[in-house]
Structure 1
């Protein structure tokens, strides 16, 4: 039996937004043009994949984007939030402004796919030698948005409004101490001049079969918080631990204590939550008990009340365990990314578009994801919809595919045309519905 939320979404869309059907002829043209762009989109993707760049360093990628947008006659701004590019396409008729966004940065991952266009780029990240790879599909996002820009530029006289193309740097984060990504783009005014009324974005998914689209109204992806715990004790020779207040042992006890926050202190029937310690730093020699150990990790939540509860729990557990050992714990928690929140009304409005583009049976409402996306910063300013597009070969088992952020991450390029069509049609239908 269909979920009530799905039925409600469909009914609301059909009742409130009948004008979407009026765009059928334009949408057919968009689909045809997108299919004609397939080889070009694949070529862009492979070129960008072979030459990945880390966050705030995407100068080559930005150059490709800016050059092509200018070639299409689109107004271009460069150097936005360091390396970002913004294009403005003014339609043939007056109307609202809709934004489409793609992220451009790669990851500090050494590629092992063996693809003929695999990355050979090397760098140093956090003082460690490592490769650079598009291990999350941002290369496909850039290629799909370039394709959508080309398609929409060919039908611009029929667009009642303006399309803003946002090519964003540093979605995966900036180096410590740097502001970047969507947050900096918003701070620099990317949602104004002209003022954006709604925004759409896509993310390729390596565990979703090509031809499929997935979405979730309201909280779709988790807020991501970064916590740091400095456990301070007393140093001593490793042979005489009774002379110390051992921050290593205390830190280990804190790590175990933190795990009980999720397993024993969090009402997971309300919503998912995750707490992970990802880094442990301390000590310089095997027989010296250090004065300090630092723990760093992430908190993921889909609900603001639960987020605040977990923050308080982390502080209570860390300081309490440290105190019981005669040590101290300094806790710092920073919100890195808010919840990726798909506006319910906008989602209801655009679900018929998704179904028209991919086919009704190929559009599914999914469960929430504990990964995070800084697309959320745009959604804090205007209604937004973020959709996942399939990138897994047909017939493959998701369990047999490499996850995102891993050296073998793979995308089936036959799914890119659907992404191009989806982006362009979302823009055209939104503008058409606002006439």
Structure 2
């Protein structure tokens, strides 16, 4: 294991916290911590770990939180770490979350700290890369923990630091991620009043923050469709019940859900078939075809409607062809809508604007990507926002996207993330202590 070096404490020791000037204090401390946060991120980037296997990462996090005098719980949801910082004054419990896992992606970025890690994933050896920015999330929240712990005696409430495994999904056959953390009581003892989270974004310019009240990221359900017909020689299709043709009809009919059943003036939605498998020879009509797909929705009613329509279309289309079909939805994955509480978002928007500058806080459209931060927001009010990581002047249409081998983040944006998370915590506490 490569040793992780920390900057000498003397270089990052800060003046006492002042209730009347905490934003200025946060700013000074975050600026002083910039090199340390970047060093943490580079170390995590060079040593990524897949979901439910974040042993090294969680060990470093737990050790550092303990060094700050923060109460630490380990082994939460397998490899998760929870830190509890009890302030010197009564007030609410504010949770802050960072995800820790990497992805089965082989890195192509030419940086000195590029990952060369290999691991087993679904029975195959794969490259591992922090190809979604979770390494930066961990480093930023460690910086936040440093600053807020230095203000402990003046904090009006408690801060719960949640370092979460397996946001990208648990290994096959395992539970994991935010859902398991909630199940194991991460929002209790003490009971969380509000939760904040951020996600670095490679296609938002560094120095900017993007947010959206309400449905900000989509609910996701994967599904599996099995179409069963009657096998026959390809020269005599009238002897078959062809599951290939039936599957083609199903695929096309499913697209009418978005075009004819969804009110597109209110919300977007997606039905995608990502794989289709059936048969093994050109002149044999197979007995069975299997399809896998995903749906994305931005409201709970739309999610319910999509599920019902998929089942109806699949079963009736199959029946019309003389075939049968089975639908499993969700098949293995379900995340709710990432829903930013509108009232809370309105109250905290001035904090983001004061931190980044009003001109740098952007209202963004909803996206059809999904986030398991949504499981926390099902239980308590929350805000999940995006932090710019694209170099200044970059083109978001050509910047390497998340989950790709060329994913790249400008590290100069990390300090803004540290400041934003600190200020959201302190301002929320101030609001509740009045």
What TM-score, normalized by structure 2, do the two folds share? 0.92
Alpha-carbon offset, residue 354 of structure 1: 0.5
The answer to whether the 8 A contact 1:23-1:429 is kept is no
Partner in structure 2 of residue 353 of structure 1: 351
The answer to whether the 8 A contact 1:23-1:432 is kept is no
Alpha-carbon offset, residue 242 of structure 1: 3.9
Partner in structure 2 of residue 382 of structure 1: 380
Rounded Cα–Cα distance in structure 1 between residues aligned with 2:241 and 2:92: 63
Alpha-carbon offset, residue 192 of structure 1: 0.6
Rounded Cα–Cα distance in structure 2 between residues aligned with 1:422 and 1:320: 51
Partner in structure 1 of residue 231 of structure 2: 235
Q: Which of 46, 60, 76 is the aligned partner of 2:42? A: 46
Alpha-carbon offset, residue 114 of structure 1: 2.0
Structure 1 stretches of 5 or more lacking a match?
1-21
Q: Which of 153, 166, 191 is the aligned partner of 1:157? A: 153
Q: Which of 367, 370, 374 is the aligned partner of 1:369? A: 367
- Aligned in 2, Cα 1:295/1:39: closer, same or farther, shift over 3 Å? same
Rounded Cα–Cα distance in structure 1 between residues aligned with 2:404 and 2:20: 40
**Which moves more between the two structures, 262-271 or 97-106?**
262-271
Partner in structure 1 of residue 96 of structure 2: 100
Partner in structure 2 of residue 344 of structure 1: 342
Q: Which of 188, 191, 214 is the aligned partner of 1:192? A: 188
Q: Which of 221, 224, 227 is the aligned partner of 1:225? A: 221
Alpha-carbon offset, residue 309 of structure 1: 1.5
Rounded Cα–Cα distance in structure 2 between residues aligned with 1:248 and 1:76: 55
Partner in structure 1 of residue 8 of structure 2: none
Partner in structure 2 of residue 171 of structure 1: 167
- How many aligned residue pairs are there? 414
The answer to whether the 8 A contact 1:279-1:296 is kept is yes
Rounded Cα–Cα distance in structure 1 between residues aligned with 2:317 and 2:116: 46
Rounded Cα–Cα distance in structure 1 between residues aligned with 2:239 and 2:45: 55
Cα deviation digits, residues 2-45 of structure 1 (max 9, x gap): xxxxxxxxxxxxxxxxxxxx955011111111111111111111
Matched, 1:294 2:290: yes
Partner in structure 1 of residue 423 of structure 2: 425
Question: Tell me, what secondary structure is at the counterpart of 1:434?
Answer: helix
Partner in structure 2 of residue 19 of structure 1: none
The answer to whether the 8 A contact 2:122-2:172 is kept is no
Alpha-carbon offset, residue 275 of structure 1: 0.9
RMSD between superposed Cα atoms in Å: 1.7
Partner in structure 1 of residue 406 of structure 2: 408
The answer to whether the 8 A contact 1:201-1:386 is kept is yes
Question: Tell me, what secondary structure is at the counterpart of 1:317?
Answer: helix
Cα deviation digits, residues 146-177 of structure 1 (max 9, x gap): 11001111111121111000000111111333
Rounded Cα–Cα distance in structure 1 between residues aligned with 2:233 and 2:113: 53
What TM-score, normalized by structure 1, do the two folds share? 0.91
Alignment of 1:19-418 (within 5 A): 25-334=21-330, 336-418=334-416
Rounded Cα–Cα distance in structure 2 between residues aligned with 1:56 and 1:286: 42
Rounded Cα–Cα distance in structure 1 between residues aligned with 2:351 and 2:160: 19
Alpha-carbon offset, residue 48 of structure 1: 0.8
The answer to whether the 8 A contact 2:335-2:374 is kept is yes
- Aligned in 2, Cα 1:246/1:429: closer, same or farther, shift over 3 Å? same
Rounded Cα–Cα distance in structure 2 between residues aligned with 1:351 and 1:32: 22
Cα deviation digits, residues 225-270 of structure 1 (max 9, x gap): 1111111122334454443322223222222221222233322112
The answer to whether the 8 A contact 1:111-1:407 is kept is yes
**Which moves more between the two structures, 372-381 or 108-117?**
108-117
Rounded Cα–Cα distance in structure 2 between residues aligned with 1:121 and 1:238: 47
Alpha-carbon offset, residue 126 of structure 1: 3.2
Partner in structure 1 of residue 12 of structure 2: none
The answer to whether the 8 A contact 2:197-2:383 is kept is yes
Rounded Cα–Cα distance in structure 2 between residues aligned with 1:357 and 1:207: 20
The answer to whether the 8 A contact 2:217-2:366 is kept is yes
Rounded Cα–Cα distance in structure 2 between residues aligned with 1:375 and 1:177: 21
